[in-house]
């Protein structure tokens, strides 16, 4: 792969798409509903996982040991994640309609802290008496992807050696399992939390490990342009049908990696830091707070602008004061290229 690449700008663009779509979906404001119609946050999240698989495979191959690999993953993921959970708790403490003592003693508060610090956000996404008048109550609905990503980080050291020996066969097996899981929980199983189960790491593994395949199998990477064109054409032909999910992992992953590695001259934004992870983590609670204080109801576009400005400022501060410092402790040098929800 060329040392010049556009991972930074693509990750930031994907995080910005998620922010815009969530601004429309979380507030349900009719004035900005068009954002969710014209933009696709699912594509952005799946693109994150493809980039993650690519970059984390490279990181694993550069790691001196398995311990070193997991330490790097923890030092990149945990500081900002822990901070945002604490930030959401403080927001809840300040905005709850319950008396402070009742809020602190409430079982839902304790459950929230335990669930979110253990990455099981779906167990308790909200806090008692917080955002009860908002259309949505979760403090940070974006956090659900982190447990999926961590699961894939754990799997990668076991899968990558096999992939290096039989790259296409191994990815093919992952693809079949991933698609079968997604199909079962979207077309067969109709029980509780079917939609949540359909989005777990097993269904996302085909995106993640397609990125890893491109990172480790040069013949596949060399044909990336052809793969992208063919898969996109097939995806567009089957878009809206029950079969689109079969080509989506290849189409989404290849187009994102192509933009990152081959498509245009490098757009350098590294001087501002890697803000994409922070933007992804912090935008949802900011939207919720602005919705709580009626900013979106008064003027949806003002709310959107304030969301962007505050999120970017917080992400920039988080990178420079928190995230990069942990990476420098790990590497003793300026941190290398980092993934979006995946980071080196």
Q: Could you say which DSSP state residue 322 is in?
A: I
Quick one: which of 1, 8, 3 has its CA closest to 274? 8
Sign of the dihedral defined by the CA atoms of residues 232, 234, 239, 243, in that order: negative
Helices (H), the chain: 7-27, 33-38, 41-62, 66-95, 100-105, 107-117, 144-165, 167-183, 194-198, 201-216, 218-222, 224-238, 244-261, 276-292, 295-298, 300-318, 324-331
Report residue 335's pLDDT band, with 50, 70 and 90 as the boundaries: very low
Residues in the chain: 344
Average pLDDT, the chain: 91
**Residue 131: helix, strand or coil by DSSP?**
coil
Report the pLDDT value the prediction gives residue 340, as an integer from 0 to 100.
39
- How would you class 117 by CB atoms within 10 Å of its CB: exposed for 0-12, middle for 13-18, buried for 19 or more? middle
Report the pLDDT value the prediction gives residue 223, as an integer from 0 to 100.
95
- The segment with the largest mean pLDDT, out of 232-246, 274-288, 323-337, is 274-288
pLDDT at 53 over 60: yes
Report the pLDDT value the prediction gives residue 237, as an integer from 0 to 100.
93
111's tokens: 């459950």
Report the pLDDT value the prediction gives residue 338, as an integer from 0 to 100.
34
pLDDT at 227 over 80: yes
**Residue 331: helix, strand or coil by DSSP?**
helix
C-alpha 106/C-alpha 117 separation (Å) is 17
pLDDT at 334 over 50: no
Sign of the dihedral defined by the CA atoms of residues 227, 203, 6, 74, in that order: negative
Residue where the block lists tokens 């269904």: 203
275's tokens: 């803000």
Beta-strand (E) ranges in the chain?
none
Report the pLDDT value the prediction gives residue 271, as an integer from 0 to 100.
76
The mean per-residue pLDDT over the stretch 152-165 comes to: 95
240's tokens: 């809206």
C-alpha 86/C-alpha 80 separation (Å) is 10
Report the pLDDT value the prediction gives residue 330, as an integer from 0 to 100.
55
Report the pLDDT value the prediction gives residue 344, as an integer from 0 to 100.
52
The mean per-residue pLDDT over the stretch 265-270 comes to: 74
pLDDT at 106 over 90: yes
Q: How much is the CA Rg of the chain, to the nearest whole Å?
A: 20
Report the pLDDT value the prediction gives residue 332, as an integer from 0 to 100.
44
């Amino acid at each position: 792969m060329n040392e010049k690449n556009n991972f930074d700008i693509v990750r930031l663009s994907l995080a910005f798409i998620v922010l815009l779509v969530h601004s429309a979906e979380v507030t349900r404001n009719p004035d900005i509903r068009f954002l969710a119609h014209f933009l696709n946050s699912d594509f952005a999240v799946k693109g994150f996982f493809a980039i993650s698989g690519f970059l984390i495979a490279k990181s694993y191959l550069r790691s001196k040991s398995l311990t070193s690999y997991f330490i790097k993953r923890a030092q990149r993921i945990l500081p900002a994640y822990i901070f945002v959970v604490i930030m959401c708790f403080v927001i809840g403490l300040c905005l709850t309609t319950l008396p402070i003592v009742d809020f602190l003693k409430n079982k839902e508060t304790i459950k929230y802290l335990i669930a979110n610090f253990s990455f099981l956000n779906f167990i308790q996404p909200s806090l008692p008496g917080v955002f009860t008048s908002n259309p949505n109550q979760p403090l940070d609905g974006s956090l659900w992807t982190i447990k999926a990503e961590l699961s894939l980080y754990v799997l990668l050291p076991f899968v990558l050696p096999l992939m290096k020996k039989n790259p296409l066969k191994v990815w093919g097996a992952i693809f079949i399992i991933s698609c079968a899981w997604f199909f079962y929980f979207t077309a067969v199983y109709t029980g509780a939390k079917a939609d949540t189960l359909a989005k777990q790491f097993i269904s996302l593994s085909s995106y993640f490990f397609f990125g890893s395949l491109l990172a480790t199998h040069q013949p596949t990477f060399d044909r990336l342009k052809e793969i992208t064109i063919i898969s996109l054409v097939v995806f567009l032909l089957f878009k809206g049908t029950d079969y689109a999910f079969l080509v989506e992992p290849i189409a989404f992953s290849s187009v994102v990696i192509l933009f990152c590695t081959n498509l245009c001259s490098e757009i350098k934004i590294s001087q501002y830091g890697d803000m994409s992870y922070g933007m992804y983590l912090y935008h949802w609670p900011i939207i919720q707070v602005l919705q709580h204080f009626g900013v979106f109801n008064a003027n949806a576009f003002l709310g959107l602008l304030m969301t962007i400005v505050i999120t970017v400022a917080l992400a920039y501060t988080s990178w420079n004061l928190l995230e990069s410092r942990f990476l420098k402790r790990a590497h003793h040098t300026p941190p290398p290229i980092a993934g979006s929800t995946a980071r080196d």
